[in-house]
Amino acid sequence: MPILGLGMFSLSDSEAENSTYWALKHGFRLIDTARIYGNEEAVGRGIKRAIDEGYVTRGEIFITTKMWTSDYSDGAAAIDASLSRLGLDYIDLMILHHSQPSNDVDAYKAMEQAVRDGKLRSIGLSNYYEPEDFDRVVNATTIKPALLQNETHPYHQSGLMKEHIAQYGTVLESWFPLGGRGNTQTLFNDETISSIASAHEKSSAQVILRWHLQAGQIAIPGSSNEQHIIEDYDIWDFELSDEEMRSMSALEKDERFSWY
């Protein structure tokens, strides 16, 4: 799957449609949305525009959506509803949005059935922060999660979970890769990050995204600004040195910007 994508959290319908379209036009191939964001239909329109205008084909792009906790009791219906809102006949990756021990295994099994039926290409989990909680789902099901999407950025590097899930071949995907809306300046102005950015004549956002990829996790920054979207994809022409990676890793504070 692509290792860099654009996220749709908190974007209005028009923002989500345009951001999806701009992302695909400017090089992104992975889009991350969720039923609870309320913008799956708009994402579907953005995808259709980009395909109709010849920027991408369906086979070249990778669409992720998430099942919300209140839908876990009827996962099959939730999958069909997301497919219909997105206007797709298959979804590349669906993940459970949060741990919910009362019925997340049932929802995961519904996703496994949808893989067998060809509706989902891959499945995974989001917001599992304890190894035991992750294993609870893995041990009760058959298909190993392709990825775990958790809050991850230089101040919360998710080392424990990243190491734990590797035994299953599961990779980490970072949400709030830039710290999240309202918090980005904290990371952008961090002295270590901004001085690495100056040295490479890149922005702090680009340095942080580069750090995610070089550390081995997938990053899905969110943006409703076309220039930021172009900037966030323009990270292939430089590399952080081992020493720069070590100084970024030393920023770990075990500090989350979100409550869940």
Provide the binding-site residues for ligand NAP, judged by CB under 6 A: 7-9, 32, 97, 126-127, 149, 175-181, 184, 203, 205, 220-225, 228, 231-232
User: Which class for 103: exposed (0-12), middle (13-18), buried (19 or more C-beta within 10 A)?
Assistant: middle
| Location of structure tokens 């995907």 | 173
Tokens describing residue 43: 């994402």
**Marked catalytic residue, from 21, 37, 108, 233:** 37
CB of 161 to ligand NAP, least distance (A): 13
d(CA 172, CA 225): 26
Residue nearest to ligand NAP (CB): 222
Provide, rounded to whole angstroms, the least separation between the CB of residue 173 and ligand NAP: 8
The nearer residue to ligand NAP, 5 or 75, going by C-beta atoms, is 5
CA dihedral in degrees (86, 88, 93, 94; nearest 10)?
50
Q: Which is nearer to ligand NAP, 92 or 142 (CB)?
A: 92
Active site residue 37: yes
Cβ proximity to ligand NAP: between 183 and 192 the closer is 183
What residues contact 1, with CB distance under 8 A and at least 6 apart? 30, 62, 92, 93, 122, 146, 218
Residue nearer to ligand NAP on the CB measure, 73 or 225: 225
Using the minimum distance from each CB to ligand NAP, give the nearer residue, 114 or 205: 205
Sequence letter at residue 35: R
- Which tokens hold the place of 60? 């070249």
Least Å distance, CB 120 to ligand NAP, is 17
Smallest distance, Å, CB 108 to ligand NAP?
15
Exposed / middle / buried, residue 135 (Cβ in 10 Å: 0-12, 13-18, 19+): middle
Cβ atoms within 10 A of the Cβ of 7, count?
27
- Could you tell me the sign of the dihedral formed by the alpha carbons of 18, 56, 174, 82, in that order? positive
Please report how close the Cβ of residue 240 comes to ligand NAP at its closest, in angstroms.
Answer: 17
Residues belonging to the active site = 37
